[in-house]
Amino acid sequence: MIYLKHEEEIELIRASSMLVSKTLAHVAALLRPGITGIELDQAAEEFIRDHGGLPAFKGLSGFTNTLCLSLNEAVVHGIPGKSEIKAGDVVSVDCGVLMNEFYGDSAYTFIIGEVKEEIVKLVRVTEECLYKGIEQAIAGNRIGDISYAIMYHASKINPYGVVKELVGHGIGRKLHEAPEVPNFGAKGKGPMLKEGMTLAIEPMINLGTAHVKQLSDGWTIVTKDLKVSAHFEHTLAVQKEKAVVLSDHSVIKSAIKNNVELLK
């Protein structure tokens, strides 16, 4: 069942999504070599609760943390731990919030200090893929139009692997609603997009192979060739002429500009 949201519900999803964005900005301000994943996770949980929300991921299907913190070859669902983040790491941070009975969900990939240009390009292209998908999220299109736009930019214009086992999703009163939003597909295929649909679009793009595997912790997904992966995500509402993005990465970018460890 795909649930269409009215304007008041979309505004509640926007509020939850903005709290996610501000939480990711808070994480961005703290990111540096030497900090641990668990320190970032605890700071994020405190920030969310102090602002009237609940961590959406914590307790979901047994997940134990507020953030999914995925480093380097980890694609998604990394568990924050006690290991220190190092200069040269690529850190994908995925966060969700429940507030006023509605969810928000967003992700951002950070580069800590200096890395090879090929990694900088991967992260940039993955972010571009997100917006290529968003451009297609208009009423009258189909899910496949979003999927194809992401796939084409990642693997046709660029030489990257597009993860197929993990997808974006609808979002609202549940964190994961119908429809699924794959990052690969064909134009004109899949469910019709209608005004009032709310989606979380999230390209997961690999420097090498598209193939992934799950680690023994039961959560972390890594690339099979152990090359770097990147992940960006926005929550948005489908409208007639263009999608309305409900999360906001500009606050994250502002925090990056003020964090010398993240300046490249």
Domains along the chain with CATH numbers: 7-262 (3.90.230.10)
The chain-wide mean pLDDT, for the chain, equals 97
- Percent over 90 (pLDDT), the chain: 98
Q: Cβ distance 233 to 105 under 8 Å?
A: yes
Confidence (pTM): 0.97
3-state secondary structure of 77: coil
For 221-257, what is each residue's pLDDT tens digit?
999 999 999 999 999 999 999 999 999 999 999 999 9
Q: Which residues contact 86 (CB under 8 A, 6 or more apart)?
A: 33, 112
Distances from the Cα of 94 to the Cα of 2, 75, 91, 191, angstroms: 24, 11, 10, 26
**What letters, b where the CB count within 10 A reaches 16 and e where it falls short, cover 40-54?**
bbebbbebbeeeebb
Dihedral sign for Cα atoms in the order 140, 145, 147, 150: negative
Residue that is written with structure tokens 């190092």 in the block: 86
The token pair at 93 is 């941070």
HEC secondary structure over 2-26: CCCCCHHHHHHHHHHHHHHHHHHHH
For 35-75, what is each residue's pLDDT tens digit?
999 999 999 999 999 999 999 999 999 999 999 999 999 99
pLDDT at residue 264 greater than cutoff 70: no
